[in-house]
Amino acid sequence: MNQDYIKPDNWSIIEEGFDAESVKSSESLFSLGNGAMGQRANFEETYSGETFQGSYIAGIYYPDKTKVGWWKNGYPKYFAKVLNAPNWIGINIEINEENLDLNTCDEVRNFRRELNMKEGWYNRSFEAVLKNGTEISVNVRRFLSLDLDEAGIIKYDITPLNKDAKIVYKPYIDAGVTNEDANWDEKFWKPLEVKKSNSEAFVTAKTFKTHFKVTTFMHNTILANGENVNISPSAIDSTIDKVQFTYGTIIAKGQTSSIQKIGGYTVSLNHENTLAAAEKCIKTAVSLGHDTLLQNQINAWAKIWEMSDITIEGDVKAQQGIRFNIFQLNQTYSGKDSRLNIGPKGFTGEKYGGSTYWDTEAYCIPFYMATKDQEVARNLLTYRYNQLDKAIENAKDNLGFKNGAALYPMVTMNGEECHNEWEITHEEIHRNGAIAFAIYNYYRYTGDYSYIPEKGLEVLIGIARFWHQRASFSKEKNQYVILGVTGPNEYENNINNNFYTNYIAKWCIDYAEEQIKKVASEYPQDHKRILEKVNLSAAEIQEWKKVADDMYFPTSEELGIYLQQDGFLDKELIRVKDLDRSQRPINQKWSWDRVLRSPYIKQADVLQCFYFFEDHFSREELKRNFEFYESFTVHESSLSPCVHSIQAAVLDKMDMAYTFYLRTSRLDLDDYNKEVEEGCHITSMAGTWMSIVEGFGGMRVKNDQLHFSPKIPKEWKGYSFKINFRHQILKVTVSHTETTFMVDGDQDLTIIVNGKSVIANKQLAKIN
Amino acid sequence: MNQDYIKPDNWSIIEEGFDAESVKSSESLFSLGNGAMGQRANFEETYSGETFQGSYIAGIYYPDKTKVGWWKNGYPKYFAKVLNAPNWIGINIEINEENLDLNTCDEVRNFRRELNMKEGWYNRSFEAVLKNGTEISVNVRRFLSLDLDEAGIIKYDITPLNKDAKIVYKPYIDAGVTNEDANWDEKFWKPLEVKKSNSEAFVTAKTFKTHFKVTTFMHNTILANGENVNISPSAIDSTIDKVQFTYGTIIAKGQTSSIQKIGGYTVSLNHENTLAAAEKCIKTAVSLGHDTLLQNQINAWAKIWEMSDITIEGDVKAQQGIRFNIFQLNQTYSGKDSRLNIGPKGFTGEKYGGSTYWDTEAYCIPFYMATKDQEVARNLLTYRYNQLDKAIENAKDNLGFKNGAALYPMVTMNGEECHNEWEITHEEIHRNGAIAFAIYNYYRYTGDYSYIPEKGLEVLIGIARFWHQRASFSKEKNQYVILGVTGPNEYENNINNNFYTNYIAKWCIDYAEEQIKKVASEYPQDHKRILEKVNLSAAEIQEWKKVADDMYFPTSEELGIYLQQDGFLDKELIRVKDLDRSQRPINQKWSWDRVLRSPYIKQADVLQCFYFFEDHFSREELKRNFEFYESFTVHESSLSPCVHSIQAAVLDKMDMAYTFYLRTSRLDLDDYNKEVEEGCHITSMAGTWMSIVEGFGGMRVKNDQLHFSPKIPKEWKGYSFKINFRHQILKVTVSHTETTFMVDGDQDLTIIVNGKSVIANKQLAKIN
């Protein structure tokens, strides 16, 4: 896939022309999701070319047996895999007795895909010349309903162009699916029951080990020129995990035959009786009908866009990029269910497994806080609260901590660690910091303190205990140190005194202590309940504070920077600009040891600390550290460019900020890292949003007030975004000459723009 | 297995009483080998209890597909497995129509195993009461011929004790074997051909991928009271990879029926036509007959012991320990074939795979140099010379080095790297140093310089080039550093400036440069040939020297010690004696990150440097470093106690030296690490020998002369050893009152004892 593959368009992702080489990449980019389920953009009909089949259901995972070369003590027994779910989209099609397959037919013309982000549907159209000489025109539209989130609908239209056609439709559902990344080629699904009638079918299966029960269903209707022809299947074939209906029909040249398939899942997470629920879901969908479902879909997406759209004028590619990011985030996570989280690939691929990384707290929460009701972010926090016991167990059983110290997993589905590389799993402990930071960030942004006495404080205490135990005293340095970690920059392993980790460790303890005091004075009953529950004494807090008050931070006085870790300056400090392009990406070109001893940084590390704790440092410090570290950063993590874009904007390096913005927003559309076929980088998409709102818009929350310092790349005419700040909706529009602010509703909102107080209300407030 | 399981005996390993729990451990301890093949002490007859079946052929390996959790660039594609070879020892036995199986029969009495190390045979005897009431007495003797090293012989005697018995012998050979540690449960052997006659059978198979062809053969004779009864098999059953003969016989109560089975392998490494070679081998073995073969075996072992025996008076366990070590080393490697090397488990198990580690150069060569003809050590050096091209390829293709830099593999069979953990494979680069050191050590000991101009210099150049490229210049330290390594202490990973590594890197460059000069002046033709071949300029050597001359060594002035690595003193320095016993072994009790950030040392690291380069340091430096590092050493590597024993002896810490000696010499017999069932620790056995000769005997070679400073543990009355020094055999006998030296042959040998010159000759030279 090259950078011009996706056609520029303000509202749609468009592919034109059939390219077998790009099928897997397009399957990722055109993925659909509705928060409850999702699918890669696999073809409905047979495709014998290279394809990566994927359907996914939120919260349904499989604990695949861990695979390692050399077992190390403390490794978890399984790696939770994003589970390829039963396929309900499949429709095999025969045209005049030839199986339709774009890989084998004589010619494919006018192939076009469109993912209409404004309305939330995916359309594929093409003309095919079959080996038997029949020429057909096909149009397929598919969407996953946001309202009725257990169902999706496919309308598959076929128009024979040069002769009458006998068309056989074979819609099926198939639970005999496997994961491409299964460690041991095991089966993940156990078929339970197949039920079928003349128009609908149900396959119930459950996952091995986790015992999630899923009923996959379909309901089929055959139409001619849009009218239901009320035909019954001529055959119904079923095995223990698959049902296929056969419908035969004849359509005249120039007329259109269609099959409309409603399909989806009902799952035991939500229903006692998944079969009954599936029957009910079909009934509802059928009674609403295709057109109403589609109109509801358009309305639901309009509502989402109304709140979360970002417009960019004068730069279609930038506009398309940001909308693609916002669209995917909304497809992945709706925030309705605190059992769910934001998988790094969403519903677009299997890779990485698990659903929850520190990405959620470090990158995603700001987006959901500002574009959704605050309950959504609170649900994301609650997810971690609900898994606190397992984080304590993880620290105790796998890693030898005690006394309620909590280490949240690097990767998880249900709170249990499921990642297995010691240098990540056991050493990338900074993730604990982001989880505490998100609690702070949530309160800072929403002003909703209630979460802390209710739930957050227990999490903060478990995390503070972890850092207290994890730090150790160095007699040599006469300070506390944290040895043997991997920082956010995963191109270093097992290092000592990672600045970011040490800094956030200290911060976590300080913040926990402050919140204990605050809860003691403002919520004395919660304070009593929690301290008794976790058995925390004043003496223990004093011990924590010793560590926080005397934490060591590696520093270079000479360069005026913090050191990413002890010994960083011993490296051969050749800047990225002086590194031969042929050597990049280094993680594909170099052996791991070489990556590790190089000075090259995968993603913001010291700078991530500056991003989280901007107010703790001066602009000059930011400038020195940014200029030093950015010059060694290869941005081979999707999470890197956004932070750099924001900081470049702060430092008035607008060209750089713009370049980083483009890289983050079109990472998948332009396939910067040559890997989009594995799926899209969902969590980093929230970073794209931050690049605009926090980077160009300069939005910050300080002392319960919104601050802005708007800037605009020279490539743009203008841009706008909306944020939901404490139940008020503020729209910000920036051009080269002015910035305007407008509040929904009658209440004023006092904001700080470039350091000056401005009263925003439902009239436009203009700042020149 | 407990520490009293093996009965103390000066010359034999003895187990008494049948304990199903110890079968796998005993199978390791009673293993047989003759340098060309070996076997675990599996029962010949059926055994349905827990067992670990293993037969091995020197040089025959399988490149098993690598298994890792997360693939990292530079990992090798395969891991060479020690291959479980076809089984030729099997004899199923029916007594009065009941299959003999010690796991299921009614009673096992007087079970006894003996591994007679003096004569080189293994005997197993027992009485069994079968379910059918038949009581039998069984005696089985087995040995692998040292002279005829493709053959072994089993004599299996059965005497019914309480009634006449119908005995059915079913000797078989079976190539349908698998490896317990196969990564992907693949088959390693492809059967080719089965050939059989009335008395002998041949199964030819070849390994997949490596295409080693092996003919496994057997020849059977049935005897009654020692006389050949000349019966033919009543049935011959065969499949594509197995042949079994059936012989029925009846023996009266109190009489003895026997089967004598000759078996073994002929391999394509040595024969064009393995089948013809097998036929010839059987013919030779049959014509010699069991008794002659046994007598030859006794004679051959007598010759080995004549040269390599160490006697210890007054301490049977110590005596048994050292003989077990010497016996196993001789079973594993005979030194005849420079294609072979010394696998860490020899012929006693599959674990670790590969045959060659740095163990060979760092621990084994001194033993073979002193107890064998010097050709044996030279063959071990030549093994590496022959693999130099692959070491250069490894550095280039896997790790990005250039210009002929060589990195020898961590683990290998054929010169290709086959280990796959980045922290070991890519970072435990000190192995290169031991390979250069062995060249130096060989010349120091043997005085045979010819190896260096012929072969060694090329190896030294490849290694020097590696270190030159691997070091980098630190502006911060204004010296050369070596970043991101794992030292001999594998309880640290990815550290900077490991003292041992930096030291040996500098030494390698210096030594290579010296040898280039020496070869230039003494072997100008070789000099010209080599420098042209490797394209080495004087300018390049100057570049190397910059690194060597300005290498950084981490040091603590305050403690007067070298630091194992940068930052070692930042650790929580709690000594092993203050560590709760329940926490050990730490590699089984702690997660890997905790091991890494602890101060605990798996095996000598800084002290390994002091061992190699003793003369570079003062006794006071040794004392300070020994006392510091030993206190943090947990000796969880089999290679650790020997070096500590030697250095404790130097420092007159004789109790400590003795304790370390016992631990190294009886590591397997007393199963210190609870893992002997996986196989014995063969390479560390050479360290046991060093503990006595270099430790207690104080043997050193300096300036072409042997030095001794004999000491004796208080637990012993005396000890003696022999060494072959430059074609003279010197016997050293030490008691509490005197040391005597005696030389074989007529030539005098001037040695230095406790700093004084002594002339040793064929008369006893006594030193009080």
Q: Say how far residue A111 (Cα) sits from the centre of its chain.
A: 29
pLDDT for B758: 95
Closest CA to B26 of B9, B45, B38, B13: B13
Average pLDDT value over all residues in chain B: 95
Cβ contact A250:A167 at 8 Å: yes
pLDDT for B629: 98
Looking at residue A228, its amino acid is N
pLDDT in tens, A712-758: 999 999 999 999 999 999 999 999 999 999 999 899 999 999 999 99
Q: How far apart are CA B169 and CA B156, in angstroms?
A: 10
Predicted confidence band at B75 (pLDDT cuts at 50, 70, 90)? confident
Looking at residues B379-399, what average pLDDT do you find? 96
Closest CA to B312 of B762, B693, B741, B761: B693
Looking at residues B694-723, what average pLDDT do you find? 97
Beta bridge partner(s), residue A47: none
Q: Is A732 helix (H, G, I), strand (E, B) or coil?
A: strand
The conformation of residue A161, written as its DSSP 8-state character, comes to S
pLDDT for B69: 79
Q: How far is B318 from chain A (nearest CA, A)?
A: 34
Q: Does A597 touch chain B (CB under 8 A)?
A: yes
Of B399, B475, B493, Cβ closest to residue A594: B399
Q: Are strands B749-753 and B705-708 parallel, antiparallel or unpaired?
A: parallel
Residues of B numbered 480-519 whose beta carbons fall under 8 angstroms of chain A's beta carbons: which are they?
481, 483-484, 493-497
Q: How far apart are CA B196 and CA B194, in angstroms?
A: 7
Q: Is A73 helix (H, G, I), strand (E, B) or coil?
A: coil
Closest CA to B120 of B42, B186, B35, B191: B35
Q: How far apart are CA A307 and CA A301, in angstroms?
A: 10
pLDDT in tens, B226-239: 999 999 999 999 99
| Nearest residue in chain A measured CA to CA from B66 | A69
| Nearest residue in chain A measured CA to CA from B75 | A591
Residues of the binding site of B for substrate: 358-359, 602-603
Q: B1 pLDDT exceeds 70?
A: no
pLDDT in tens, A612-637: 999 999 999 999 999 999 999 999 99
Closest CA to B324 of B676, B44, B699, B607: B676
Q: How many CB atoms lie within 10 A of CB A768?
A: 5
Looking at residue B342, its amino acid is I
Q: How far is B362 from chain A (nearest CA, A)?
A: 24
Q: Is B729 helix (H, G, I), strand (E, B) or coil?
A: strand
| Nearest residue in chain A measured CA to CA from B565 | A567
Interface test with B, best of A181, A593, A600 (most B CBs within 10 A): A593
Q: Are strands A718-725 and A705-708 parallel, antiparallel or unpaired?
A: unpaired
Q: Are strands A705-708 and A749-753 parallel, antiparallel or unpaired?
A: parallel
Crossing angle between the packed helical segments A640-650 and A619-630, to the nearest 10 degrees: 140
Q: How far apart are CA A768 and CA B77, in angstroms?
A: 63
Q: Does B224 touch chain A (CB under 8 A)?
A: no
Q: Does A477 touch chain B (CB under 8 A)?
A: yes
Put simply, the answer to whether B474 touches A569 (Cβ < 8 Å) is yes
**Degrees to nearest 5, angle at CA A387 with A382 and A391:** 135
Looking at residue A387, its amino acid is Q
Helix (H) or strand (E) holding B500: helix B499-522
Helix (H) or strand (E) holding B238: strand B235-238
Domains along the sequence of chain A with CATH: 6-271 (2.70.98.40)
Beta bridge partner(s), residue A16: A112
Q: How many CB atoms lie within 10 A of CB A525?
A: 9
Q: A359 pLDDT exceeds 70?
A: yes
Residues of the binding site of B: 358-359, 602-603
pLDDT for B131: 97
Burial of A476 (0-12, 13-18, 19+ CB in 10 A): middle
Cβ contact B101:B231 at 8 Å: no
Q: How far apart are CA B107 and CA B98, in angstroms?
A: 14
Q: Clarify whether A490 is annotated catalytic.
A: yes
Burial of A717 (0-12, 13-18, 19+ CB in 10 A): exposed
The CA-atom distances, in angstroms, between B185 and each of B64, B111, B179, B182, B264 are 10, 35, 8, 5, 26
Q: A452 pLDDT exceeds 90?
A: yes
Predicted confidence band at B2 (pLDDT cuts at 50, 70, 90)? low
Percent of chain B past pLDDT 70, that is, above it, reads: 99
Helix (H) or strand (E) holding B688: helix B682-690
Tell me which chain B residues have a C-beta less than 8 angstroms from the C-beta of A420. 69
- Output the CA torsion A40→A45→A51→A53 (10° steps): 40
Q: How far apart are CA A106 and CA A498, in angstroms?
A: 59
- ipTM score over 0.90, yes or no: yes
Q: B367 pLDDT exceeds 70?
A: yes
Tell me which chain B residues have a C-beta less than 8 angstroms from the C-beta of A71. none
Q: How far apart are CA B100 and CA B108, in angstroms?
A: 11
Q: How far apart are CA B410 and CA B152, in angstroms?
A: 33
Q: B313 pLDDT exceeds 90?
A: yes
- The residues, ordered by sequence, that sit 6+ positions from A241 with a Cβ below 8 Å of its Cβ are A86, A174, A175, A176, A189, A191, A194, A203, A205
Q: What are phi and psi of B326, to 5 degrees?
A: -65, -40
Catalytic position from the list A94, A361, A417, A490: A490
> Catalytic site residues of B?
490
Closest CA to A342 of A352, A353, A329: A329
Q: How far apart are CA A166 and CA A98, in angstroms?
A: 10
Supply A447's token pair: 């002003």
pTM score, two decimals? 0.94
Q: How far apart are CA A328 and CA B211, in angstroms?
A: 53
Q: Are strands A151-160 and A135-144 parallel, antiparallel or unpaired?
A: antiparallel
Closest CA to A470 of A542, A551, A554: A551
Predicted confidence band at A2 (pLDDT cuts at 50, 70, 90)? low
Q: How far apart are CA B717 and CA A577, in angstroms?
A: 72
Interface test with B, best of A480, A482, A494 (most B CBs within 10 A): A494
Q: How far apart are CA B462 and CA B467, in angstroms?
A: 9
Q: How far apart are CA B510 and CA B489, in angstroms?
A: 24
Looking at residues B408-435, what average pLDDT do you find? 94
Interface test with B, best of A502, A592, A594 (most B CBs within 10 A): A592
Put simply, the answer to whether A74 touches B476 (Cβ < 8 Å) is no
Q: Say how far residue A651 (Cα) sits from the centre of its chain.
A: 28
pLDDT for B3: 67
Burial of A746 (0-12, 13-18, 19+ CB in 10 A): exposed
The CA-atom distances, in angstroms, between B109 and each of A173, A549, B15, B93 are 65, 70, 13, 18
Q: How many CA atoms lie within 13 A of B245 on its CB side?
A: 28
Q: How far apart are CA A486 and CA A420, in angstroms?
A: 14
Supply B333's token pair: 């490697």
Closest CA to A685 of A143, A444, A676: A676
Of A66, A484, A587, Cβ closest to residue B596: A484
Q: How far apart are CA B695 and CA B650, in angstroms?
A: 7
Looking at residue A650, its amino acid is V
pLDDT in tens, B441-468: 999 999 999 999 999 999 999 999 999 9
Residues of A numbered 416-445 whose beta carbons fall under 8 angstroms of chain B's beta carbons: which are they?
420-422, 426-427
- Where residue A209 falls (left for φ over 0; alpha for ψ -120 to 50; beta otherwise) is left
Q: B663 pLDDT exceeds 70?
A: yes
Q: How far is B480 from chain A (nearest CA, A)?
A: 9
Predicted confidence band at B183 (pLDDT cuts at 50, 70, 90)? confident
Q: How far apart are CA B749 and CA B707, in angstroms?
A: 11
Q: Does A71 touch chain B (CB under 8 A)?
A: no
Helix (H) or strand (E) holding A444: helix A431-446
Q: Is A187 annotated as a binding residue?
A: no
Average pLDDT value over all residues in chain A: 95
Looking at residue B374, its amino acid is Q
Looking at residue B571, its amino acid is K
Residues of A numbered 532-571 whose beta carbons fall under 8 angstroms of chain B's beta carbons: which are they?
566-567, 569-571
* N residues, chain B: 768
pLDDT in tens, B279-291: 999 999 999 999 9
Q: How many CB atoms lie within 10 A of CB A424?
A: 16
DSSP A295-339: HHHHHHHHHHHHHH--EEES-HHHHHHHHHHHHHHHHH--S--TT
Cβ contact B126:B106 at 8 Å: no
Crossing angle between the packed helical segments B499-522 and B457-470, to the nearest 10 degrees: 140
Q: What are phi and psi of A159, to 5 degrees?
A: -125, 115
pLDDT for A1: 59
